[in-house]
Amino acid sequence: MDSSNTVEATVDAPLVDRDLAYAIEQFLYREARLLDGERYEEWLELMAEDIHYWMPGIQARYRADKVAKISLSRMAYFDDDLDYLRKRVERARQTTAWAEDPPTRHFHMVTNIEVQPTERPNEWTVHSLVFNLRHRNEAEQLELTARRRDLIRQEATGVLKIARRFIQLQQTVLQAKNINTFL
């Protein structure tokens, strides 16, 4: 994925087949259900071997300030390949993962899904919005909202995989003690 600030879709982008759009929507809804159920090993199976999972920090800047809000050279909450995603999942499963004992109760909502064709017939750019509500202990609650831009690829077997994920948080400062979630 490029490091541009924009995640908007091209207004005049061609439409994709309704059945394909539906299949990709269902794929993203299933992903959310897997994350909510902490079925991380199954979730990892949705990732392509060359996945780049990137959630950069965002800076609030005045309109007159031409410095990019998002940059490859600044901090990122996630800047992961498949091996590192596996390590994150493995770490979360350890008994020493104090941030997950008791476990966080997750709620992922995915909406505003828009599918655009790319130059490759088996890949699509998919824009979506995600709302993640996390509950911990008795009263801790945290909301994360983000725009996502995915590159979804259909493998030769017909299986859909996430090849790229760019997550643009709306929050510039996280009010959380940790970021023990995937978006």
Mean pLDDT of the chain: 87
- Give dist(CA 39, CA 169) in Å, integer: 23
Mean pLDDT of 48-60: 90
Nearest C-alpha neighbor of 134 from the set 85, 90, 183, 94 = 183
Q: Which amino acid is at 52?
A: H
Residue 91 near residue 85, CB atoms below 8 Å: no
- Does the pLDDT value for residue 145 go beyond 80? yes
Whole-number pLDDT of residue 7: 46
Phi/psi for 41 (5° steps) reads -65, -40
Going from the C-alpha of 132 to that of each of 51, 99, 117, the distances in angstroms are: 21, 17, 27
Select the more confidently predicted residue: 93 or 108: 108
- Give dist(CA 157, CA 145) in Å, integer: 33
Q: How would residue 6 be classed by pLDDT, with cut points 50, 70 and 90?
A: very low
Whole-number pLDDT of residue 23: 98
Select the more confidently predicted residue: 181 or 40: 40
CA atoms within 13 A on the CB side of 96: 2
- Does the pLDDT value for residue 11 go beyond 70? no
DSSP H helical segments within 13-172, as ranges?
18-36, 40-44, 82-92
pLDDT cut 70: percent of the chain above it? 89
- Give dist(CA 69, CA 36) in Å, integer: 30
Query: Domains of the chain (ranges plus CATH)?
Result: 18-61+69-96+104-169 (3.10.450.50)
Q: How would residue 173 be classed by pLDDT, with cut points 50, 70 and 90?
A: confident
- Give dist(CA 71, CA 78) in Å, integer: 13
